[in-house]
Amino acid sequence: MTHLPASTSSQGKTDRSQPALVTPEVLIAPPARPTWIAAAPHARGSDDKAETTLRISSFCSWYGAFQALHEIELAVPKRRVTAFIGPSGCGKSTLLRWINRMNDLVPSARAQGTLDLHGEDLLSRSIDVVDLRRRVGMVFQKPNPFPKSIYDNVAFGPRLHFRMRRGDLDGLVEQSLRQAALWDEVKDRLKDSALGLSGGQQQRLCIARAIAVGPEVLLMDEPCSALDPKSTARIEELIADLRERYTIIIVTHNMQQAARVSDVTAFFFEGRLIEDGLTEHIFTNPTNKQTDEYISGRFG
C-alpha cells in the first residue's frame, strides 16, 4: 500500500478540545524497569531479551522520482539506544523524519511500507500527527529553542497537549529540566530568554522540551554535531541516563560516539540498510565488508 503524506493538521482520533487534567507523575513516571534491566543496567549483550518498540517493514521512500530508501527492515528495541550510521546522503535523516512524519512538510516525499509503533502504523492517514509528535519527540542537529523564556520552552508542549494546574506545570518543568541535566544551571533564570543559553545548554533545553510531553521515543539527528567536546560529553551522559526511560534513535557521523552511546547500530549505504545488530558486534566483527570499511574510516 502506498501512503501519500497527509496534511500536517490534526486529523485524528484524539480529541484535544477537552484535554485531560494530568499531573507530572503521569508524564514522567518512574521507569517501569523490566527485571532484566535491573540485573544488567547497561544491558549491552542482552538484546535478545529486548522488546521491540518500532518495527520498520518493507519501508521505501521517494522524493519525486528519486528513491531515497529501499526495503528497510529494522526492529528498534525498547529502552535502548539505536545508532543510525552511514555516509552522507544514505537516507538516515529521511528515515528519522518519517518516524515522526516531518516529511509531511515535503511535498515531493512519499513512502510505502509500515512503521509499526505498538500495532499502530505511523504512516496511516488517520493518525493524529500532532499527538504522534508528542509520543515521538525529535531533537535536531542545530538546537532550535523557541524565542521564549526557558520556562515557556519546556511548558509549551504540556500547555498544548494537557490541562495542568499551575503548580503541576511548574513541577513538570522542573522535572523535565532535571532529567535533561539542565536544572541546576537555569533554576534561577527560568524567565530569561532561552536564546541566551549556550549551544550545549540550548540542546539540553530542546531535550527537556521533548521530554516534557511524556514521549516514548526520542529521535536525535546528529544532536552533538554543532557542540564543543565538553557539551558533547554532557549530551552523551544524558543519553546514557535517558535510555532507562525512552527508546532512543540517534543519527551520528561520529563512530566513537556511536560505539559509546548505542546498544544497537544500523549501518545504511545508498538508501539500503546494510547491516544492523549489537553495537559491540558491529564495531568489532561486522558481517558485511562495506560496514567494516565504513566503521574503520575507509570511506564516507
Ligand X SMILES: Nc1ncnc2c1ncn2[C@@H]1O[C@H](COP(=O)(O)OP(=O)(O)OP(=O)(O)O)[C@@H](O)[C@H]1O
User: What are the residues binding Mg ion (CB under 5 A)?
Assistant: 93
Residue 212 interacts with ligand X (CB under 6 A)? no
Residue 90 interacts with ligand X (CB under 6 A)? yes
Which is nearer to ligand X, 140 or 146 (by Cβ)?
Answer: 140
Residue 300 interacts with ligand X (CB under 6 A)? no
Give the x/- contact pattern for ligand X in 39-78, rule: CB under 6 A. ------------------------x----x----------
Of 93, 175, 252, 262, the one binding ligand X (CB under 6 A) is 93
CA distances from 238 to 147, 227, 248 (A): 24, 14, 12
Q: Are 276 and 285 in contact (CB under 8 A)?
A: no
Of 5, 24, 77, 91, the one binding ligand X (CB under 6 A) is 91
Which is nearer to ligand X, 63 or 183 (by Cβ)?
Answer: 63
Q: Are 234 and 204 in contact (CB under 8 A)?
A: yes
For residues 105 and 126, give the distance between their C-alpha atoms in angstroms, rounded to a whole number: 17
For residues 277 and 47, give the distance between their C-alpha atoms in angstroms, rounded to a whole number: 9
Type of residue found at 213: V
Judged by beta carbon distances under 5 to 8 A according to partner kind, the member of ligand X, Mg ion, none in contact with residue 256 is none
Residue 156 interacts with ligand X (CB under 6 A)? no
DSSP-derived pairing of the beta strands 2-3 and 120-121: unpaired
Residue 224 interacts with ligand X (CB under 6 A)? no
Residue 204 interacts with ligand X (CB under 6 A)? no
Q: What's the closest the beta carbon of residue 108 comes to ligand X, in angstroms?
A: 6
> Nearest-CA neighbor of 288 among 264, 270, 269?
269
Q: What's the closest the beta carbon of residue 235 comes to Mg ion, in angstroms?
A: 17
Which is nearer to ligand X, 35 or 88 (by Cβ)?
Answer: 88
For residues 26 and 104, give the distance between their C-alpha atoms in angstroms, rounded to a whole number: 30
Alpha-carbon Rg of the chain, whole angstroms? 19
Helices (H), the chain: 24-27, 35-39, 92-99, 129-135, 150-161, 166-179, 183-186, 199-211, 229-242, 255-261, 279-284, 289-295
DSSP-derived pairing of the beta strands 247-251 and 217-221: parallel
Q: Are 290 and 297 in contact (CB under 8 A)?
A: no
Which is nearer to ligand X, 122 or 155 (by Cβ)?
Answer: 122
Residue 92 interacts with ligand X (CB under 6 A)? yes
Which among 1-9, 82-90, 209-217, 259-267 is the span making contact with ligand X, rule CB under 6 A? 82-90
Which among 18-26, 28-36, 89-97, 229-237 is the span making contact with ligand X, rule CB under 6 A? 89-97
Which among 22-30, 85-93, 158-166, 274-282 is the span making contact with ligand X, rule CB under 6 A? 85-93
Site residues (CB under 6 A) for ligand X? Answer: 63, 68, 86, 88-94, 106, 108
